[in-house]
A and B are shown apart, each in its own frame.
Chain A
Amino acid sequence: MHEMAMAQSLVDAISEEARKHGRPIRAKMSCGVLNTVNDDVLSFAFETLAQGTPCEGMQLQIEHKLLQATCKACGCVFAVDWSGVRCPDCGADDFELLPDAPLLLEQIEFEGVDDGEGEHRQEDPGRQ
């Protein structure tokens, strides 16, 4: 249940941003392979810990980034498949793992007035 600690950090970080930007609707995060994030467990932990905070009811999107490796024989960079790691180009099994993607809170969408920071998307006025 390492996801519980991750969810708590997310709730803390988003709540802090919510003080500046208003009510958060959706957050995007990404993670690498070695952090072994299970989406269902993290989403459940987030939903639970969000109760009674500005994050309550918001949506969490989790993107998994591939772990990559460099082949020592031919130099090509390829995505690692744990079931049997071999260079897809030359077949060598001598490779070096590239740094795994960190756990990253990438973006938050807030409800309401924009305050001039970050990227903004104009909403269709006909849609609520």
Chain B
Amino acid sequence: MAKVNIGRKILDANEKCAMKNSELLAQHHNRCFNMISSPGSGKTTLLVRTISDLAGAVKIGVIEGDIQTDIDAQRIRATKAPAIQIITEGACHLSAAQVNGALRKLPLDNLEMIFIENVGNLVCPSSFELGEDGKIVVLSVAEGDDKPAKYPGIFAKSKALLVNKIDLLTGGALIDFDLERVRADARRLNKRIEIFPVSAKTGEGMSAWYDWIQGQLAKS
């Protein structure tokens, strides 16, 4: 019997493709963030509001990943921003190759910031690099304040955390959600994570998030 040392990264095909995406984005001076959350956290609503509020200030393009339908891309296109839908037909995460195909369909020369809205899932997408500048995790208050503790991987890897739907915490809504617990648990995993409590519906907290986006553009 012969033992052969391999030392090969198991997802190397994906990582090589992610590197290509990163080069393509750099050539066009685009910044890119990979948004990851559970289904229903409000990623698309956040993007729609962000695109509308930053119209004229930041040129945003979107890549949408869903198991079925182009509902999300249609919602983005209604803002006049370009959006490419990837339908994964069951796959639980986006791959770098799928994102490469979508990037090539976007008018990158006319854009500054690309958001990739990954398939709703807090686990699988965190293992697949797409060539992004960073990951953004979105958590809505209705999901509960124990998520950073239960899904540490994505909170440890993300540059920013958007805690969405904070409008549900006021006005006597019956949601037990301790924002301080989320802050403490997320920071324990990731000292540098930027945390933005927001409501994409009412606009509360969104200006700090917009400042962060503009700060990211200044880094390119």
Residue positions of A touching B, CB distance < 8 A: 1-2, 5-6, 9-10, 12-13, 17, 21-22, 25, 29, 33-36, 82, 84-85, 93-97, 102-115, 117-121, 123
Contact = CB atoms under 8 A, between A and B. Distances in A.
Given A2-B93, A5-B95, A36-B127, A123 B1 contact: yes
Contacts of A82: 149, 152, 189
Q: How many of chain B's residues touch chain A, expressed as a range? A: 20 to 34
B188 A2 contact: no
Given A6-B11, A21-B2, 11 more contacts: A2-B92, A36-B153, A85-B189, A94-B191, A96-B191, A102-B9, A107-B5, A110-B1, A114-B2, A118-B5, A119-B3
B102 interface: no
Interface of B: 1-14, 91-93, 95, 123-128, 149, 152-153, 156-157, 188-191
Contacts of A2: 92-93, 123-125, 127-128
Nearest to A96: B191
Given A34-B156, A96-B191, A97-B156, A1 B8 contact: no
Contacts of B123: 2, 36
B2 A103 contact: no
A107 B4 contact: yes
Contacts of B126: 34, 36
Counting chain A CB atoms within 10 Å of each CB, the highest count among B3, B7, B95 belongs to: B3
A32 to B, nearest CB: 9
Contacts of B11: 5-6, 9, 103
Counting chain B CB atoms within 10 Å of each CB, the highest count among A5, A10, A118, A121 belongs to: A5
B3 A108 contact: yes
Contact of B4 (A29, A93, A110): A110
Given A1-B92, A109-B3, A121-B3, A13 B8 contact: yes
A34 B154 CA distance: 8
A85 B128 contact: no
A105 B188 CA distance: 31
A100 B34 CA distance: 19
